[in-house]
Amino acid sequence: MARTHPGRDHVAARPCWRCRACGAPWPCAPAKLALLDQFAGHSVARAFFMAARLEEAIADAVELGQKPDVAALTERFTQWVREARRARSGGGDSDASSQHTAAPRLD
Ligand SMILES: [Zn+2]
């Protein structure tokens, strides 16, 4: 009974941080799309959200007695957020925010 919906079903199973729907390392591609949609126009909030998840993933790994690869986890959890922001500021299509086009740029 593996139902794969685009969107909310692609959530992380803790403490392994694999997707509950597809089993891929979280955030999987559908999870990223859902997060882009969920935080459309709020890329800073999305970055904070992912930073918090990163911290939880590292803490979970430590709690399991593992030695987390912090650099790899940081890239996995936050790199795509930066790429999405870059794509957006370059007129990209992955984080189109039609509601808040007048958001100030901090960089
Ligand atoms: Zn998934």
- Alpha carbon dihedral 79, 81, 83, 87, in 10-degree steps, equals 180
Q: What is the pLDDT of residue 23?
A: 97
More confident residue, 79 or 105: 79
* Domain ranges across the chain: 29-89
What distance in angstroms lies between residue 44's CA and the mean position of ligand 1's atoms? Answer: 23
Say if residue 8's pLDDT is above 70.
Answer: no
pTM of the predicted model, to two decimals? Answer: 0.73
pLDDT (tens digit per residue) in 51-102 = 999 999 999 999 999 999 999 999 999 999 988 878 877 654 444 444 444 4
Q: 54: CA distance to ligand 1 center in Å?
A: 17
26 membership: H or E segment, kind and range: none
pLDDT at 92: 46
- Estimate the share of the chain in helix, then strand, then coil, as percent rounded to the nearest 5: 50, 5, 50
Of 104 and 44, the one with more pLDDT? 44
* 3-class SS string, 51-73: HHHHHHHHHHHHHCCCCCCHHHH
Residue 35 CA to ligand 1 center (angstroms) comes to 12
Q: Are 20 and 7 in contact (CB under 8 A)?
A: no
* Buried-exposed string 2-11: b where 16+ CB fall within 10 A, e elsewhere: eeeeeeeebe
